[in-house]
Amino acid sequence: MNEPSAALPIRITPEALLREMQQVSEKLTRGSQRLSAYTEEQLAIATTPKDEVWRQDMVRLYRYRPTVEKPARVPVLLAYALVGRYQMIDLEPDRSFVRKLLAEGLDVFVVDWGLPTRAQRWLTIDDYVSGYLDDCVDLIRERHGVDKINLLGVCQGGVFATCYAALFPQKIRNLVLTVTPLDFHGDLDHPEAGAGYMNLWARSMTPEDIDMMVDTMGTAPGAMVGFSFLMMNPVGNVTKYTTELVDMLDDESKMLGFLRMERWIADRPGHPGEVMRQWFKDLYQANKLVKSELMLGNRRVDLDQIRMPVLNVYATGDVIIPVSCSQGMEDRFGTDDYSELSVPGGHIGTFVGGKAQKVLAPSIAKWLRERN
């Protein structure tokens, strides 16, 4: 049997190397000229028209202007996570989850949690759920003359929505959860390569470590929160500013998409310390939500009280919230109308990815119409 031949060495002549360097230099020159010429209007994110209808402290409630003559009578309230700004669901006109929901005829509201400072360090999960979120729900119910509304939660906002539906089931008609961690220990029995690093990191901390972190900082700075996400893929988050960026310099559509995404990433809000303390101890470590043991104030979040229809959406390539932490929850809720929807892509790609965009909003709208 012949031995496999050794790979031939790659020979690069000085002339070829010089040509390559010249091409990269020319591309960088063109790219820098294009970057300097972009206007604020071109780089703007979250441009779907909306109106502020309520505010309290740093929190705002917006209603997006309907794009159909007669939107659905039962409105939808979107609750995003605290660890990122809600603009992700409306990143670009052609990559906007919100615009697609509006096009489907839904009446859409969104709660903007704002930018917490040290003044909000003592806020708890209960303050957000039974305070701000409940006020938003009541205002929408009164404004539209309905007893119940639809609630849609995203990631951490999905946890808030789950808690709210369990504590105030009489106010929610349908519950939609997207890329939401429900079983924070699901990855223990079903580990996924390259996913769940935040779970591992949070569970490795001692209660004393968590207390020291919260007591020292009060509010976790947005830069620190963002850094923890960047460290899930440090190599990828370096190369996107080098080789990947050079490759897209001549593609204006990709370049604008990249810059808008970076703008959203850079606007990372701080995180109230007491929310973080409970998030790490009660959820990441003790997994109390899925066990119906989570206490908000003096009330227990009993998932059996969630008897309205539930749609649970998870992303097949999500490395932040492993699939095992989201799917298979039909026996956890009290409802007999539980549905799951898998979408292609990752945690953020669920809302901005081309494939997921074609599936997510139309499927949610269809599911809601069938139940409204």
**Where is 239: in which H helix or E strand?**
helix 236-239
In a domain, 19, yes or no: no
Of the candidates 339, 338, 358, 337, the residue with the CA atom closest to the CA atom of residue 349: 358
User: What pLDDT shows up at residue 8?
Assistant: 60
Report helix, strand or coil for 295.
strand
Instruction: Read off the CATH number of the domain in which 341 is found.
Output: 3.40.50.1820
In the numeric block, the tokens 């759920």 are attached to: 129
Annotated active-site residue 155? The verdict is yes
In a domain, 184, yes or no: yes
User: What pLDDT shows up at residue 6?
Assistant: 59
The tokens describing 296, both together, are: 């908000």
In a domain, 32, yes or no: no
- In whole angstroms, give the CA distance from residue 190 to residue 161: 25
Query: Structural domain of residue 86, as residue ranges?
Result: 41-371
CB 219 within 8 A of CB 83: no
In the numeric block, the tokens 């740093």 are attached to: 58
In the numeric block, the tokens 């080789």 are attached to: 243
- In whole angstroms, give the CA distance from residue 82 to residue 269: 7
In a domain, 35, yes or no: no
Question: How many domains does the structure of the chain reveal?
Answer: 1
User: What pLDDT shows up at residue 212?
Assistant: 96
- In whole angstroms, give the CA distance from residue 50 to residue 105: 15
Neighbours of 170 (CB within 10 A): 8
Report helix, strand or coil for 45.
coil
Of the candidates 44, 82, 24, 99, the residue with the CA atom closest to the CA atom of residue 271: 82
CB 259 within 8 A of CB 36: no
User: What pLDDT shows up at residue 17?
Assistant: 76
CA atoms within 13 A on the CB side of 272: 21
User: What pLDDT shows up at residue 5?
Assistant: 56
Of the candidates 228, 231, 203, 225, the residue with the CA atom closest to the CA atom of residue 273: 225
From 136, 155, 163, 325, active-site residue:
155
CB 272 within 8 A of CB 82: yes
The tokens describing 163, both together, are: 């808690």
Angle between helices 197-204 and 222-230 (to 10 degrees): 120
Distance between start and end Cα atoms, the chain: 71
In a domain, 250, yes or no: yes
* pTM higher than 0.85: yes
- In whole angstroms, give the CA distance from residue 58 to residue 368: 30
What does the pLDDT profile of the chain (372 residues) look like in tens digits?
555 555 666 677 887 877 877 777 777 777 777 788 889 999 999 999 999 999 999 999 999 999 999 999 999 999 999 999 999 999 999 999 999 999 999 999 999 999 999 899 999 999 999 999 999 999 999 999 999 999 999 999 999 999 999 999 999 999 999 999 999 999 998 988 889 999 999 999 999 999 999 999 999 999 999 888 888 888 888 888 888 888 888 888 898 999 999 999 999 999 999 999 999 999 999 999 999 999 999 999 999 999 999 999 999 999 999 999 999 999 999 999 999 999 999 999 999 988 888 999 999 999 999 998
In a domain, 277, yes or no: yes
The residue type at 265 = I
In a domain, 211, yes or no: yes
User: What pLDDT shows up at residue 346?
Assistant: 94
Report helix, strand or coil for 207.
helix
Q: Say how many residues make up the chain.
A: 372
- In whole angstroms, give the CA distance from residue 126 to residue 267: 25
In a domain, 31, yes or no: no
